Structure 1
Amino acid sequence: MTRPTPDEARAGSLGERLNWLRAAVLGANDGIVSTAGLVVGVAGATGSRSALLTAGLSGLLAGSMSMAAGEYVSVSTQRDSEKAALAMEKRELRERPEAELEELTGLLEGRGLSREVAREAAGQLTERDALRAHARVELGIDPDRLTDPWHAAWASFLAFTAGALLPLLAVVLPPVGLRLPVTVLSVLAALCATGWSSARLGAAAPGRAVLRNVAGGALAMAVTYAAGALLGAAGV
C-alpha cells in the first residue's frame, strides 16, 4: 500500500488540526453561551451562591455530556458510512475492474486532464493501490484516516467544559454585588475571543463574526436574566 508524500501528509495533518481547532473553539463557545445564560438567569431570581453553583455545574455536566454523546453518534454514523462505501468500492473493483478503471479515468478527465493522460494516470494509480485511488478521487475518503468517534467525543466534552467553566467561576467567586457585571464582562470578552478565533481559522474577516457572537451571547443573557428576575419577583 502506497503512502502519501511528505507534502501531502503535512497538508492533510494541517487541515485536520485546523478542523479540530475550529471544532474546539465552537464547542467552547457553546459552553460559554449556554452556561452563561443559565447562571445569569438563576442570578436574576436568587443571590444564593449554592443555587448558582448547583445550576452552573448541572448545566456544565449536562451540556458537556450531551455534546460528547451527540458528537460520538454523529461521527460513528459518518465512520460507518465511510466503511460501507469502501467495502462497496472494494467489491466493485474485484467484480468489474475494467469498468472501475474507466470510471477513474473519467473522473480524472473531469478534473482537467486530457483523455490520454487521465487514462495513463488511472492505470498507474490502479496498479499502485486501486482502492486508495478510488477512495480519494471518487469518494473523497482517505482509508488510513477515517474519523474517530471517541476522539471527537472527548474533544467536544473538553471544549464545552472549558468554555462553561468561565461563566460558572465568574458568577460564584465574586461578591454578590459584582457577580452580574463580572460575569457579563467576562462572557462578552470570551465571546470576542472565540468569535475572532473561529473567523481567523476559517480565513474570514473577524469583525462580523465577533459582532454576531457578542450580540448572540448578550441577547441570551438578557433574556434569561429577565426571565429569572420575573420568576424571582413572582416568588416561583
Structure 2
Amino acid sequence: MLLHRERHLVERIGWLRAAILGANDGIVSTASLIVGVAAAAARPSDILLTGIAGLVAGAMSMAAGEYVSVSSQADTEAADLEREAGEIAADPEAEIAELAAIYVRRGLNDETATAVAHQLMAHDALAAHAHDELGLVSGMKARPVQAALTSAVTFSAGAGLPLLIALGAPPTWVAPAVATGALVSLAGLGAIGAAAGGAGRLRAAGRVAIWGALAMAVTSAVGAAVGASL
C-alpha cells in the first residue's frame, strides 16, 4: 500500500515555542532596558553598556531556564515510561485490557479494541502505552539541549536589534527609535510565529506588540522617575 508523508505543524511546537519565546524576550527586555535607561537621562555609553549586559545575561538566563524546565519535563516523561514498563512486565493482561478500554472510549467495539490492543502490545507494548495512555508523542518529546540552545540564540538575535538601533540613533532619539523598532519587530515576530504554527497572523502580531509596548512604557516611567530623583 502506497502511503504519502504528512507533516503536521504541531511537530514544530517544541523548538518553535523556545524560538518565539527567546526572540520575543530578547527584543522586549533589551528594548525596555535601553528605553528605561535613556529615560533616566543616562549617557549614550551607559545605555549601550546596559543593553550589552542585558543581552549576555538574558541569553544565559534563557538557556539555563529552558534547560532546567524542559529537563524537568523530560525527567517526568522518563519516570512515567519506567513505571509503565514495570506495570507491563508485572501484569501484561491488565495492560492489554487498559489499552482496549481506551480504544473503546474512542469508538471501537469491544472485539476490535481487544484485537488492536493485543497487536500493538505484541509489536511494542511500551510505545503503545506511551502514545495512547500517557499521551507522549515523539514529535513533542522534551529536548532540553535543543530548547536551551534555541532560546539562547534567538534571544541574542532579538536583543541585537534594539542594540543596533540604539547604536545608530542620535542620542536624543534613542528611546523613541528603539521603542518604534522594537514594536515593529515584535509585530513581525508574532506574525512569523503564527504563520509557522498555522495560526492567525494579525491577532498574534497585535498581542505581542501590545505586551511589548506595555513593558517599555512601564520601564520608561520607572527610569524617568528614578532619573529625576538622582
Scaled by the length of structure 1, the TM-score of the pair is 0.87
Indicate conservation of the 8 Å contact 1:22/1:201, yes or no: no
Once residues 136 and 102 of structure 1 are traced to their aligned partners in structure 2, the CA distance between those partners, rounded to angstroms, is 16
Summarize the Cα distance change of 1:201–1:98 in structure 2 as closer, same or farther, 3 Å threshold: same
Number of aligned residue pairs: give it.
228
1:77 to 62, 72, 75: 72
2:228 to 196, 220, 233: 233
Q: How far 1:46 moved relative to its partner?
A: 2.6
Q: Which residue of 2 aligns with 1:195?
A: 190
Q: Which residue of 2 aligns with 1:67?
A: 62
Q: Which residue of 1 aligns with 2:213?
A: 218
Q: Which residue of 1 aligns with 2:172?
A: 177
Q: Which residue of 1 aligns with 2:102?
A: 107
Q: How far 1:26 moved relative to its partner?
A: 2.5
Q: How far 1:51 moved relative to its partner?
A: 0.4
Scaled by the length of structure 2, the TM-score of the pair is 0.90
Indicate conservation of the 8 Å contact 1:52/1:172, yes or no: no
Q: How far 1:175 moved relative to its partner?
A: 2.1
Indicate conservation of the 8 Å contact 2:26/2:157, yes or no: yes
Indicate conservation of the 8 Å contact 1:26/1:198, yes or no: no
Unaligned 5+ runs, structure 2: none
Tell me if 1:11 matches 2:29: no
Once residues 145 and 38 of structure 1 are traced to their aligned partners in structure 2, the CA distance between those partners, rounded to angstroms, is 34
Indicate conservation of the 8 Å contact 1:31/1:164, yes or no: yes
Tell me if 1:40 matches 2:51: no
Unaligned 5+ runs, structure 1: none
Q: How far 1:59 moved relative to its partner?
A: 1.2
Aligned ranges for residues 92-171 of structure 1 at < 5 Å? 92-142=87-137, 146-171=141-166
Q: Match for 2:65: what amino acid?
A: G
Once residues 227 and 44 of structure 2 are traced to their aligned partners in structure 1, the CA distance between those partners, rounded to angstroms, is 15
Indicate conservation of the 8 Å contact 1:41/1:226, yes or no: yes
Once residues 194 and 67 of structure 2 are traced to their aligned partners in structure 1, the CA distance between those partners, rounded to angstroms, is 25
Summarize the Cα distance change of 1:29–1:144 in structure 2 as closer, same or farther, 3 Å threshold: closer
Once residues 152 and 60 of structure 1 are traced to their aligned partners in structure 2, the CA distance between those partners, rounded to angstroms, is 18
RMSD: 2.1
Q: How many percent of aligned residue pairs carry the same amino acid?
A: 48
Once residues 227 and 185 of structure 2 are traced to their aligned partners in structure 1, the CA distance between those partners, rounded to angstroms, is 28
Q: How far 1:110 moved relative to its partner?
A: 1.1
Once residues 212 and 149 of structure 1 are traced to their aligned partners in structure 2, the CA distance between those partners, rounded to angstroms, is 27
SS in 2 for 1:159: helix
Q: Match for 1:167: what amino acid?
A: P
Summarize the Cα distance change of 1:6–1:65 in structure 2 as closer, same or farther, 3 Å threshold: farther
Summarize the Cα distance change of 1:223–1:213 in structure 2 as closer, same or farther, 3 Å threshold: same
